[in-house]
Amino acid sequence: MIINKNELAAARTDFFSESRYDKAAKFYEQAIEAEPNVVTYYWYLGLAYLLQGQEEEAQTTWLLPMYQGTVEEVEKWNEELVKVLDAEATRQASIANLKNSWLIRQHIREIAPSLDNNLLLLMNLSLALGYLTPELMKDRQVTEMLRYRNQIISKGYQFSEDWFSGNVPIWTYYLSRYVNMPEIKALEIGSWEGMSTCYLLDNILTHDTARLTCLDIWSPQPVPAIALDEKDVRYFSTYDRNYFKSVEDRFDANINKTKAQYKVKKMVGLSQNLVRLLPLNYYDFIHIDGSHIASDVLGDAVLAWGCLVVGGIMIFDDYYFTFSTPGLNTKIGIDGFLTAFKHKIKILHEGVQIIIEKMSD
Ligand SMILES: C[S@@+](CC[C@H](N)C(=O)[O-])C[C@H]1O[C@@H](n2cnc3c(N)ncnc32)[C@H](O)[C@@H]1O
C-alpha cells in the first residue's frame, strides 16, 4: 500500500466526518503496515477505535509508538496526539455529538491532566449531558467555573457567544493580585458583549476606585486588502452592522447589570486609532482581544505596551487562532511582539492565552 497525501486527507475528512470509523480504522491499520514509523497514523487509528467504543484498543494504539520514543519525542508526540484528539472533540461537539466529544475529552484529560481548556470543556459537556461526577466536582478549576456560571445566571447577563469562560481559572490565578485593590486601572481591547468585562468588574476590579477602559469597534472590522481565502471572506462577513448594534446593546445592558458601570469608560472605534489616545504608563493590566489579524495584534501590543506600567500584566487572547489565508494568524503577531520585547518581559503563562509581565520600559 502506498500512502499519498490525498488519500490521507480523504481518510481524515471523509471517514471521520461521515462517521465511518471502521473504514478509518482499516485505512490506518494498512497505513501503519506500510509505514510503521509514521506516528500520526497511530493517533488517528486510536481515535477511530475510540469512536467505535474500543477504548482499550485506542489507548494501546496511542501507547505503541511512545514505548520507542525518547523523552523529548514522547513529549512532542503527546502534544500532537492531544491536538488531534482536541480537533475531533471540537468537531464532534460542532455536530452536536456531545457524547463522543465528552469521551474524547476524557481521554485527553488522562493524557494531559492539567490542560485547563480541556477540563473546562469537559465540564461544560458533563453539565450538558448530566454526567457531573464527584471527581470532576472536586477539581479546583471546575469549582471556579461553576461559581462563574452561577454568577452569569444570577446577574442575568445575556451572551450569545462564549469566547471567554475557558480563561476563568487562569485569570483568577494571575489577576488575583489586583482583587479589590484601590486605583487599579485596566484596559480591554475587544469587549464584544462584555463577558470578560463583566468577569473583571465582578471578580477583580471590585474596589470602588478601580477603573476599566473598554475599547471596541462594535461594527464589522476592516477587511485586509489582500487576496483572501474564501473561508476568510466568510469570516469577515459573519456579523453585519445590525448584528454588531445588538452586540453593543448587550454590552451596555450587561455592564449596567454589574452595577459597576461607573468604573467603565467605553471607547468606540478602531484600536489602531484609539490606543494612541490613551495615557502612557497608566494601566496595571491590559487584555488584547480585538482584531485577530497578526499585524493588528502586533500593532495593538506595541501601542498598548507604552500604556502599561512596569510590573503590569498583558494578556493576549487566541494565540492559536488561524485564518485560511497565509500570513494572518494571530500567533504570528504575538510571536513577533514576544520576540522583539523578549528582554523586557517575563512570560507568565503560555496556552490559548499568553500572559506576560512588563519587567522594564
Ligand atoms: C473575540 S471578540 C472579544 C470577546 C470578549 N473579550 C469577550 O469576552 O467575549 C473580539 C472583539 O474585537 C472587536 N474588534 C475587532 N477588530 C477590532 C479593531 N481593529 N479595533 C477594535 N475592536 C476590534 C470586535 O468588534 C469584537 O467585539
Beta strand ranges found along the chain (DSSP E): 185-189, 211-216, 264-268, 283-288, 308-316, 345-350, 354-358
- The pLDDT score that the predictor gives to residue 162 is 86
pLDDT for the residue numbered 137: 64
Domain match, 255 and 332 both: yes
Q: Is residue 150 domain-resident?
A: no
Neighbours of 173 (CB within 10 A): 16
Task: Assess whether 170 and 130 both reside in one domain.
Answer: no
pLDDT of residue 6 exceeding 60: yes
Higher per-residue confidence, 273 vs 129: 273
Residues 317 and 176 in one domain: yes
pLDDT in tens, 191-210: 999 999 999 999 999 999 99
The answer, yes or no, to whether any atom of ligand 1 lies below 6 A from the CB of 216, is yes
Cβ(323) – ligand 1 distance below 6 Å: no
**Is 296's C-beta closer than 6 angstroms to any atom of ligand 1?**
yes
- What per-residue confidence (pLDDT) applies to 189? 98
Residue 106 has pLDDT above 80, yes or no: yes
Report yes or no on 143 lying in a domain. Answer: no
User: Which atom of ligand 1 sits closest to the CA of residue 218?
Assistant: 25
What is the count of structural domains for the chain? Answer: 2
Mean pLDDT over 57-61 rounds to 94
93 found inside a domain: yes
Same domain, 310 and 216: yes
In a domain, 225, yes or no: yes
- Please say which residue of 86, 120, 137 terminates a domain: 137
Cβ of 65 closer than 6 Å to ligand 1, yes or no, is no
Domain closes at, from 122, 137, 152? 137
Give 216 Cα–ligand 1 centroid separation in angstroms: 6
Check which CATH number belongs to the domain holding 126 and give it: 1.25.40
Question: What are the pLDDT digits (tens) for 127-170?
Answer: 778 776 767 666 777 778 778 887 888 899 999 988 998 888 78
Best residue among 239, 271, 315 to mutate for probing ligand 1, ranked by most atoms within 8 Å of CB:
271
Which range of residues forms the domain containing residue 187? 165-358
Q: Which residues does 268 contact at the CB level (< 8 Å), separation at least 6? A: 215, 216, 217, 218, 248
Residues 180, 127 within the same domain: no
Which atom, in ligand 1's list, is nearest to the CA of 287?
Answer: 6
What average pLDDT does this structure show over 19-32? 93
Distance CA 308, CA 314 (A): 8
The reply to whether 59 falls in a domain is yes
Kindly state whether residues 225 and 320 are assigned to the same domain.
yes
Same domain, 197 and 341: yes
pLDDT per residue as tens digits for the range 241-271? 999 999 999 999 999 999 999 999 999 999 9
Identify the residue with better confidence: 133 or 90. Answer: 90
pLDDT at 115 over 90: no
190, 325: one domain: yes
Q: Are residues 117 and 176 in the same domain?
A: no
Does a structural domain hold residue 285? yes
Per-residue model confidence as pLDDT tens digits over 43-53:
999 999 999 99
Q: How far, in Å, from the CA of 127 to the mean position of ligand 1?
A: 28
Q: DSSP letter for 222, please.
A: P
Asked if residue 190 has its Cβ within 6 Å of ligand 1, the reply is yes
What's residue 59's pLDDT?
Answer: 93
Q: Whose CA is nearest to atom 1 of ligand 1?
A: 289
CATH number, domain with residue 347: 3.40.50.150
State the cell numbers at 140.
Answer: 479546583
279 within 8 A of 308, measured Cβ to Cβ: no
- Nearest CA among 256, 292, 297 for reference residue 275: 297
* 144 domain-assigned: no
- State how far the Cα of 119 lies from the Cα of 105, in Å rounded to an integer: 8
Shared-domain flag, residues 207 and 335 = yes
pLDDT value for 65: 92
**Three-state SS letters, 13-55:** HHHHHCCCHHHHHHHHHHHHHHCCCCHHHHHHHHHHHHHCCCH
Distance, CA of 247 to CA of 32 (rounded, Å): 50
Looking at the predicted structure, is the pLDDT value of residue 112 above 90? Answer: no
Query: For residue 94, what pLDDT band results from cuts at 50, 70 and 90?
Result: confident
188 lies in the same domain as 70: no
* pLDDT tens by residue, 213-250: 999 999 999 999 999 999 999 999 999 999 999 999 99
The answer to the question of residue 264 being in a domain is: yes
Distance 316 CA to ligand 1 centre (A): 12
Do 316 and 254 fall into the same domain? yes
52 close to 44: Cβ distance less than 8 angstroms: no
